[in-house]
């Protein structure tokens, strides 16, 4: 079985950070989102993976992931030149998939339980599709499934009146029949080829489409609050590992990871906290639920529930629920209350009072 990961979206909900960094390469728990996804696929035994990218982001992915060998996978890059919906992105990968069954994974989704369950169900049945589902309180934001017995009988994309509370999650297992279904659908009212319409075509053609209700948490990390929440959930599973230096004048509670060459002095760390390599942190209070990228400099700062990317410099501020881009400088001149920031790469921000 092959894997197809969709990463061609422009990440408009994460701007300005995504002007210079594709959202799938933003780190959570100090690893890019796409690396967590590759782990998920390899755990399910899928190592031949196509990544659908946009023409403007292909180089960024290739620079970050190479041929995939460092992750134990073989990567093929498929360019979606003119994005026209999820089903169109899948059609772009037809040449890569060929006549094999495949797992389709949306590149801004994270599943705590992984995809081994739906893959195993597909292998053990005669299904042409297995669709992962998750109960949600606001189904009108999602594609929604209607189930009769043990089969999916109808899918509706973002319904005004939902037929159930079972949202279609970003992982699907398909036979090659899905490509024929895509060829027979038309653009939706949004002007896109919807994957839910293609799955409905399978159902209407009498193909067997089965549900798989996932357990654990599910995060669509296409927005900053969900990205920060996923960061916190991944950090909850870390175990203390100190490869850098924590001075005796520091106080540490909970689990913390400190990478090589990092130096922490006169600071309080409240786990879970993950600190990368070559980080300097002094006179600060960090945590909980904070990840700090390589070579960052943190001085005189209080920070919680935030992600700091590599090379950032933060001085004398109080931050919460923030996402700080690479090489960005944040400082203050006078007294300042806790602030929430979403900053792209190489910004410079000085915070002060009103």
- For the chain, the domains span 2-234, 240-351
Each residue's pLDDT tens digit, 93-149: 999 999 999 999 999 899 999 999 999 999 999 899 999 999 988 888 888 898 888
Q: Is the pLDDT score of 352 beyond 50?
A: yes
pLDDT mean across residues, the chain: 90
> Does 352 or 255 have the greater pLDDT score?
255
Quote the CA–CA distance of 299 and 277 in Å, as a whole number: 16
What is the share, in percent, of the chain residues with pLDDT greater than 70? 94
Residue 354 has pLDDT above 70, yes or no: no
Q: Which tens digit of pLDDT belongs to each residue from 335-350?
A: 555 565 656 565 656 5
DSSP 8-class letter at 188: -
User: Fold identical between 2-234 and 240-351?
Assistant: no
Contacts of 189 (CB under 8 A, 6+ apart): none
The rounded Cα 315 to chain-centroid distance in angstroms is 29
Domain 240-351 has CATH 1.20.140.10: no
For the segment 178-235, what is each residue's pLDDT rounded down to a tens digit? Answer: 999 999 999 887 878 889 899 999 999 999 999 999 988 888 888 888 999 999 999 9
| Sign of the dihedral through C-alpha 17, 18, 20, 26 | positive
Lookup: tokens for 335: 């007294």
Mean pLDDT, to the nearest integer, of 152-177? Answer: 89
pLDDT band at 333 (very low <50, low <70, confident <90, very high): low
Residue 117 — left, alpha, or beta (φ > 0 → left; ψ -120 to 50 → alpha)?
A: alpha
Query: From residue 319, how far is each of 149, 160, 333 by CA, in Å?
Result: 50, 38, 15
| The residue to which tokens 């408009």 are assigned | 12
Q: What is the pLDDT of residue 18?
A: 75
Cβ proximity of 309 and 294 under 8 Å: no
Nearest of 68, 52, 74, 67 to residue 5 by alpha carbon: 52
- Determine what percent of the chain is predicted with pLDDT higher than 90: 65
Asked whether 210 and 150 are in contact (CB, 8 A), the reply is: yes
User: Which among 207, 216, 208 has a CA at the least distance from the CA of 150?
Assistant: 208
CATH number given to 2-234: 3.90.550.10
Mention every residue, 6+ apart, whose C-beta is less than 8 A from residue 216.
Answer: 111, 112, 113
């Amino acid at each position: 079985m092959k894997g197809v990961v969709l990463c061609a979206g422009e990440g408009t909900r994460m701007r300005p950070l995504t002007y210079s960094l594709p959202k799938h390469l933003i780190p959570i728990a100090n690893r890019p989102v796409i690396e967590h996804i590759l782990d998920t696929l390899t755990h399910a035994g899928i190592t031949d993976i196509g990544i659908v990218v946009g023409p403007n982001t292909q180089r960024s992915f290739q620079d970050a992931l190479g041929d995939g060998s460092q992750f134990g996978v073989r990567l093929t890059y498929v360019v979606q030149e003119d994005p026209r919906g999820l089903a169109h992105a899948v059609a772009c990968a037809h040449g890569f998939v060929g006549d094999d069954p495949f797992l389709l994974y949306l590149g801004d989704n994270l599943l705590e339980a992984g995809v081994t369950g739906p893959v195993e169900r597909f292998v053990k049945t005669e299904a042409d599709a297995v669709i992962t589902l998750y109960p949600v309180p606001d189904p009108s934001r999602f594609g929604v499934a209607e189930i009769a017995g043990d089969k999916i009988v109808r899918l509706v994309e973002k319904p005004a009146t939902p037929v159930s509370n079972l949202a279609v999650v970003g992982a699907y297992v398909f036979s090659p029949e899905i490509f024929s279904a895509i060829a027979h659908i038309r653009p939706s009212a949004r002007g896109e080829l919807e994957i839910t319409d293609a799955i409905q075509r399978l159902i209407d053609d009498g193909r067997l489409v089965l549900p798989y209700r996932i357990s654990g948490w599910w995060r669509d990390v296409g927005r900053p609050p969900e990205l920060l929440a996923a960061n916190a959930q991944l950090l909850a599973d870390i175990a203390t590992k100190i490869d850098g230096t924590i001075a005796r004048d520091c106080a540490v509670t909970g689990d913390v990871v400190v990478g090589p060459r990092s130096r922490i002095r006169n600071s309080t760390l409240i786990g879970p906290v993950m600190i990368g390599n070559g980080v300097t942190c002094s006179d600060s209070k960090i945590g909980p639920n904070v990840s700090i990228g390589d070579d960052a400099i943190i001085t005189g700062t209080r920070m919680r529930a935030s992600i700091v990317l590599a090379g950032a410099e933060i001085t004398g501020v109080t931050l919460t629920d923030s996402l700080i881009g690479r090489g960005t400088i944040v400082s203050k001149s006078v007294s300042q209350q806790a602030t929430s920031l979403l900053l792209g790469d190489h910004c410079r921000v000085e915070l002060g009072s009103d």
